[in-house]
Amino acid sequence: MALIPQLLKAIVLDRVAVQDTVSTGIEDRFIEFFNTYYAQEINGMFLAYPQKRSIYVDIKNLEKFDSELANELISNPDAVLPGANSALLKLAPAPETLDKGVHVRFYGLGGPAMPLIQDVGSDHIGKLLTLDSLIVKKSEIIPMVQLGVYRCALCGNVTKIEVERDNVPEVCPQCKRRALRQVNEESKFINLQRIAVQDPLEKLKGNMPTWQLEVWLEDDMVNRQQPGDRVDVTGVLRIRPRRTAHGKQDKSQFTMFVDAVSIMATQKEFSELEISQEEEKEIRELAKDPRIFEKISKSIAPSIYGYDEIKKAMALQLFGGTPNKKLVDGSLIRSDIHILLIGDPGSAKTRLLQSITALVPKGIYVSGKSTTSAGLTAAAERDEFSEGGWTLRAGALVLGSGGEVSIDEFDKISDDDKSALLEAMESQTISVAKAGIVARFNAKTSILAAANPRMGRFDPNVLPAEQFDIPATLLSRFDLIFPIRDMIDETLDRNIAHHILVQHAAAGAQIAEAESYEQVEAPPIAPEMLRKYVAYAKRNVNPRLSPEAMERIQKFYLELRKLGLRSGTTPMTPRQIEGLVRLAEASAKSRLAEIVDVRDTEIAIGLVNHMLTTLAVERGGAVNIDILMTGFSKDKIDRMNIIFGIIGRLEDAAPEKMAKYETVLEEAEKAGIDRGTCRKYIDDLNKNGDIYTPKSGFLKRVRHEAE
């Protein structure tokens, strides 16, 4: 019987010897591999140590060198990765001085080893995989024990242990009692950070939900990326027991997370759709059609009748201007186009937004009623993800960077949340400063917003621009604003009704498999081809202004300004010039042209003219952009100035230095302003902080320090 324990001991020793031999063999192969492929990179890393302590290795190079070793790395990474790291350490000139360790960061997996996040499951546990992903949120840095020093509180024995995840020792190896206490001063820690990633929106079809997966980053990988960044995460899928609502571990169910080996930023955006050579040839042929822009605009929301100008604008928004242009001071010029639709209920605004969201590869649809500034932009918050610490969470504009965000019920967004959009819409960045966290995210996205007039429907007796419940500062960020008014017109109403009914009849006939029914006119360009056409244009075409195009835009600007000089209005500001350039560049992109010519500027000018003549016209017929930018017409400003002057004169003349409300109304009537209008403008002056009511029945001007 005494022979059995000896045999068991011999078997265990043999296994250890075999494992040591395998590990040594892996180390030797990696040393040979590194010397063959990465000798220069490794020397550079050791020279820059400890600022640089990782080398990035393309798995394709390992496959060329030793395909069996590469396959073993993918299927059994826990057996191979330690050998790769120790081989790298052995190549150091003085390994004993490298107190922070070194890392081999593998990347470049593809095929079955690069699944969608929503498809990651039990089959991938313990295997190496790469995830093309979007970072949704990021925790703060958490120190984690790597080499723990433990002292027994009872016998005083000191133990050093390399700590694995959730494997902190409790029992003293000397006295076998639960009395180990960690000695923090002598233990070695590394940084740990958690991020949550999801599939990029363009990889999901239709309305598929997005699933999030937790990723653990260690050491020199922390704080390299921000929420909203597109990254390739390569790592080992691991599991840990779920915790119940009471904080206890449920050992029958597990939570998945990726133990990251490498994380690399990528720049995959709208234009990353795969396009075959045949499709590229078809796209080139389409671009030769002189009516290509008309066909593109008619292919947008074909189920909605009319709205030709709006569809043209939406088509230009898909293409956008020329990206990455810089001014002489180094600041970037926005290339994305923002559009606002303000219309009566039932005018298909939501359908327009949803159609464009379904068309673009990276589209997000949100409703103003159910969103906050954090949901739209970004936020720092405490949650369970960082175990009570602070987490940076990306909102829709950050996640939609490189695509398009449609915001419905734009007027229902609170004033505080609207102010959060100002930076995102102009500089296309979002800044967060909270709890000592200062961060900036990219938000390079086009915004298509829809809103209702202040009273629900447009009042024909009030200028349209005076019926917007949107701050003027935010309105000025939109390149184009379109009013959609539900006008009663027999011919138009007949055409709309016929268009809707034919579509319903055709859809019903198809379900019933009827043989004869009135056919619905198909869009000139199929949705999938249009997606690829836009992606191809955004990827390959960067138009620049021709001298003729510049001259035409300048002439249009000067003509409007001269008209404004004669009428005392401001028909256009320099900000609109940049909008015209963006629209003209988008028009050139739509026909795959590298030069913006007069045709493109005419399309841009036509859309801007349409906006000005429908929204920025005074009652006398003069164009005044201030109606949009400030919400006040020239007539209104003049009358408010008259009333403000009356209050000032009465205030100065009165012993108590206050103007009587009734006297102001009487004086305004003498100046040709009726009492109802005067009361309204007094309320406006009060809201703007220009006057106040010191006591009932009296008015007084607000005196600013500059006065």
With beta carbons less than 8 A apart as the criterion, state whether 448 and 356 touch. Answer: yes
Q: Given a cut of 60, is residue 707 above it in pLDDT?
A: no
The arithmetic mean of pLDDT across residues 508-529, rounded, is 73
With beta carbons less than 8 A apart as the criterion, state whether 140 and 193 touch. Answer: yes
Separation CA 445–CA 543 (nearest Å)? 19
With beta carbons less than 8 A apart as the criterion, state whether 413 and 370 touch. Answer: no
Confidence (pLDDT) at 82: 87
Residues 363 and 455 in one domain: yes
What residue type is assigned to position 503 of the chain? Q
Confidence (pLDDT) at 338: 92
How confident is residue 312, by pLDDT bands cut at 50, 70 and 90? very high
With beta carbons less than 8 A apart as the criterion, state whether 378 and 432 touch. Answer: yes
Confidence (pLDDT) at 1: 40
- Strands 128-139, 230-243: pairing is antiparallel
Separation CA 359–CA 201 (nearest Å)? 12
With beta carbons less than 8 A apart as the criterion, state whether 95 and 89 touch. Answer: yes
Structure tokens at 610: 């349409």
Confidence (pLDDT) at 472: 74
Confidence (pLDDT) at 523: 83
Which residues, at least 6 apart from 229, have a Cβ–Cβ distance to it below 8 Å?
134, 135, 265, 442
Confidence (pLDDT) at 83: 87
Confidence (pLDDT) at 101: 78
Which range in 133-142, 239-248, 362-371, 523-532 is most confidently predicted, on average pLDDT? 523-532
Q: Does a structural domain hold residue 620?
A: no
* Of 520, 515, 523, 491, residue with least CA distance to 505: 520
Residues 159 and 95 in one domain: no
Detail the DSSP E strand segments found in 158-229: 158-162, 180-182, 188-198, 212-218
How confident is residue 306, by pLDDT bands cut at 50, 70 and 90? confident
Q: Which of 58, 81, 103 is the last residue of a domain?
A: 103
Which residues, at least 6 apart from 679, have a Cβ–Cβ distance to it below 8 Å?
665
With beta carbons less than 8 A apart as the criterion, state whether 135 and 228 touch. Answer: yes
Residues 99 and 120 in one domain: no
> Domain total for the chain?
4
Structure tokens at 287: 């671009």
Structure tokens at 419: 């102010």
Structure tokens at 676: 């109802």
Least confident stretch, 268-277, 381-390, 410-419: 381-390
Distance of CA 99 to the CA centre of its chain: 40
User: The CATH number of the domain where 31 resides is what?
Assistant: 3.30.1640.10
Q: Does a structural domain hold residue 310?
A: no
Which burial class, exposed, middle or buried, applies to 119 when counting CB atoms under 10 A from its CB (0-12, 13-18, 19+)? exposed
Confidence (pLDDT) at 14: 45
Q: Which of 239, 262, 285 is the last residue of a domain?
A: 262
Least confident stretch, 64-73, 186-195, 508-517, 605-614: 508-517
DSSP 475-512: HTT-SEEEEE-----HHHHHHHHHHHHHHHHHHHHHHT
Least confident stretch, 3-17, 41-55, 604-618, 670-684: 3-17
Confidence (pLDDT) at 597: 92
Token match 């296309």: residue?
428
Residues 295 and 443 in one domain: yes
Separation CA 500–CA 496 (nearest Å)? 6
User: The CATH number of the domain where 449 resides is what?
Assistant: 3.40.50.300
Could you tell me where the DSSP H helices lie in 480-597?
A: 490-511, 527-540, 547-567, 574-590
161: domain range? 108-262
Pick the more confident residue, 174 or 597.
597
Kindly report whether the peptide bond that precedes residue 453 is cis, defined as omega within 30 degrees of 0: no
Q: Does a structural domain hold residue 358?
A: yes
User: The CATH number of the domain where 236 resides is what?
Assistant: 2.40.50.140
Residues 83 and 114 in one domain: no
Q: Tell me, what DSSP letter sits at residue 84?
A: H
Q: Is 472 left (phi over 0), alpha (psi -120 to 50) or beta?
A: alpha
Which burial class, exposed, middle or buried, applies to 4 when counting CB atoms under 10 A from its CB (0-12, 13-18, 19+)? exposed
Separation CA 25–CA 12 (nearest Å)? 20
Which residues, at least 6 apart from 465, have a Cβ–Cβ distance to it below 8 Å?
615, 616, 627, 628, 631, 633
Q: Which of 103, 123, 147 is the last residue of a domain?
A: 103
Separation CA 20–CA 30 (nearest Å)? 15
Helix (H, G, I), strand (E, B) or coil at 620: coil
Confidence (pLDDT) at 385: 54
Separation CA 22–CA 83 (nearest Å)? 9
Q: Does a structural domain hold residue 507?
A: no
Q: Does a structural domain hold residue 405?
A: yes
Which burial class, exposed, middle or buried, applies to 416 when counting CB atoms under 10 A from its CB (0-12, 13-18, 19+)? exposed
Q: Does a structural domain hold residue 370?
A: yes
Whole-structure pTM value: 0.70
Give the 3-state DSSP-derived string for 417-446, with helices as H, strands as E and coil as C.
HHHCHHHHHHCCEEEEEECCEEEEEECCCE
Q: Given a cut of 90, is residue 551 above it in pLDDT?
A: yes
DSSP 55-76: EEEEHHHHHHH-HHHHHHHHH-
Residues 209 and 338 in one domain: no
Confidence (pLDDT) at 599: 92
The arithmetic mean of pLDDT across residues 291-316, rounded, is 89
Q: Given a cut of 60, is residue 498 above it in pLDDT?
A: yes
Q: Which residues pair with residue 103 across a beta bridge?
A: 54
* pLDDT tens digits along 176-226: 777 778 777 777 777 888 888 888 766 665 556 678 888 988 888 888 887
With beta carbons less than 8 A apart as the criterion, state whether 338 and 425 touch. Answer: yes
* pLDDT tens digits along 614-668: 876 666 666 666 666 666 667 777 888 898 899 888 888 888 888 898 899 888 8
Q: Does a structural domain hold residue 521?
A: no
Q: Given a cut of 90, is residue 595 above it in pLDDT?
A: yes
Residues 21 and 89 in one domain: yes
Q: Does a structural domain hold residue 515?
A: no
The sign of the CA dihedral 240, 241, 243, 248 is negative
What residue type is assigned to position 209 of the chain? P
The arithmetic mean of pLDDT across residues 347-368, rounded, is 82
With beta carbons less than 8 A apart as the criterion, state whether 694 and 658 touch. Answer: yes
Q: Given a cut of 80, is residue 435 above it in pLDDT?
A: no
**Percentage of the chain lying above the pLDDT 90 cut:** 9
Residues 231 and 357 in one domain: no
* pLDDT tens digits along 11-26: 444 444 444 555 677 8
